Amino acid sequence: MKFFIDTANLADIREAQDMGILDGVTTNPSLMAKEGITGKDNVMRHYKQICDIVEGDVSAEVIGTTFDEMVREGEELAELDDNIVVKIPMTRDGVKALKYFSEKGIRTNCTLIFSAGQALLAAKAGASYVSPFVGRLDDISTDGIELIEQIVTIYRNYGYTTEVLAASIRHPMHVVQCAEIGADVMTGPLSVMLALLNHPLTDIGLAKFLADHKKASNG
Give yes or no for residue 47 binding ligand E4P (CB under 6 A): no
Give 7 or 150: the residue with its C-beta nearer to ligand E4P. Answer: 7
Give yes or no for residue 28 binding ligand E4P (CB under 6 A): yes
Give yes or no for residue 64 binding ligand E4P (CB under 6 A): no
* The dihedral sign for the CA sequence 73, 75, 77, 79: negative
Structure letter (DSSP) for residue 125: T
In order of 23, 130, 152, the CA distances from 107 in angstroms are: 16, 11, 20
Active-site residue (options: 48, 87, 104, 124): 87
Structure letter (DSSP) for residue 184: S
Cβ neighbours of 40 (radius 10 Å): 10
Give yes or no for residue 192 binding ligand E4P (CB under 6 A): no
CA distance 99 to 96: 5
Nearest CA-CA partner of 108 in 78, 133, 128, 90: 128
* 40 is annotated as an active-site residue: no
Work out which of 3, 101, 129, 133 binds ligand E4P, going by CB under 6 A.
133
Give yes or no for residue 162 binding ligand E4P (CB under 6 A): no
H/E element, 189: none
Give yes or no for residue 135 binding ligand E4P (CB under 6 A): yes
Decide if 144 contacts 133 (C-beta within 8 A).
yes
Decide if 47 contacts 10 (C-beta within 8 A).
no
Give 126 or 188: the residue with its C-beta nearer to ligand E4P. Answer: 188
Give yes or no for residue 167 binding ligand E4P (CB under 6 A): yes
Work out which of 118, 128, 162, 187 binds ligand E4P, going by CB under 6 A.
187
Give 177 or 187: the residue with its C-beta nearer to ligand E4P. Answer: 187
Give yes or no for residue 171 binding ligand E4P (CB under 6 A): no
Residues of this chain that interact with ligand E4P (CB under 6 A) are: 6, 26, 28, 111, 131, 133, 135-136, 167-168, 187
Q: Which residues are catalytic?
A: 87
